Amino acid sequence: MGQLEGRVVLVTGASRGIGAAIAKRFGHEGAKVAVTARTLDQHDHLEGSLRETVKAIQAGGGRAFPIVADLADSSSLEGIIRETVAEFGPIDVLVNNAAAAFYLPFTETSEKRFRVANDINFFAPWRLSQLVVPGMCERGEGWILNISSATSTLPQPPFKDFDALSILYGSTKAALERFTAGLAAAVARHGVWVNSMAPVGAVPTEGTEALGVVPEEALAVAESREAMAEAALGLCVTRDPNLTGRITLCTPILEELGREVFALDGKTRLDGPLESQAAPSRAGSGNG
């Protein structure tokens, strides 16, 4: 019996990268997984699609359902929840993974990009959480995981190595983390766990590789998609009352939980969380 047997999970941004990895890992643990992204089929310039994520879960005997939606359009958010509930039932686990990353100089960041980044990275997790929290509280249990970024870390003087292109992305992720802590405090008494988790440095995905802006120092400590999926699983099955409201990182939380990293099918143990160690199992992973 899988660790998420019978649970209903919604993962945003699940056509490739981290989101697809989490969806596949959870699906192989018995969850009924609703996955959402902007398109059903492959992006013009990036590998991976919602269709492929669903097929990978179904091929392993799991259940998955694709929902095409643009999280930048706030009118789509209630529909995502409605479709998930109609297909699988009330949502037990929400993973807010989708993100818009614009790496631009501060003075060249347009209002449109500012709004899109905030709509996807902050408002969508806020609103989706608003929509699922009442049911979770009524049932007395639920899990929300917000995928963050190391760019949320406050810059420290003398600022010599600060990546100025990440101001917008880091600011939205910092807001997401503050939201995580506040919501966790508000719903803890109802048996709902709310956490934030980010890679220590970076997770090479189709999206980050296409952007080509990940610093070398981040790649030096890059963690695998499998490690991110395993850490996410640990945070979405926990019943430890002290393990909520955490603003944590992938490798440290894996060590705290004492979890080994497995391939996305949950069958093969990998050597560890680092990208180089888990590289052989990356085929078929995808984010959206």
Between CA 243 and CA 165, with CA 148 as vertex, the angle to 5 degrees is: 150
pLDDT for position 201: 77
pLDDT for position 272: 77
Mean pLDDT of the chain: 89
SS3 104: coil
- Mean of the pLDDT values across residues 108-129? 98
pLDDT for position 288: 32
Residue 220 has pLDDT above 90, yes or no: no
Question: Which phi and psi (to 5°) does residue 93 adopt?
Answer: -135, 125
Residue 214 has pLDDT above 60, yes or no: no
pLDDT single digits (tens) 267-279: 999 987 766 443 3
**45-49, 74-78, 275-279: segment of lowest average pLDDT:** 275-279
Q: Against a cut of 0.75, is the pTM above it?
A: yes
pLDDT for position 287: 32
Return the bridge partners of 10, or none: 34, 94
Question: Which phi and psi (to 5°) does residue 198 adopt?
Answer: -135, 160
SS3 144: strand
Q: Is 103 a catalytic residue?
A: no
Query: What domains appear along the chain, each with residue ranges and CATH number?
Result: 8-99+132-150+177-278 (3.40.50.720)
Which of 243, 121, 232 is CA-nearest to residue 192?
Answer: 243
149: number of Cβ within 10 Å: 23
Q: Which of 169, 179, 193, 262 is catalytic?
A: 169
d(C-alpha 179, C-alpha 176), whole Å: 5
d(C-alpha 174, C-alpha 169), whole Å: 9
Q: Residue 149 is encoded by which pair of tokens? A: 């970024």
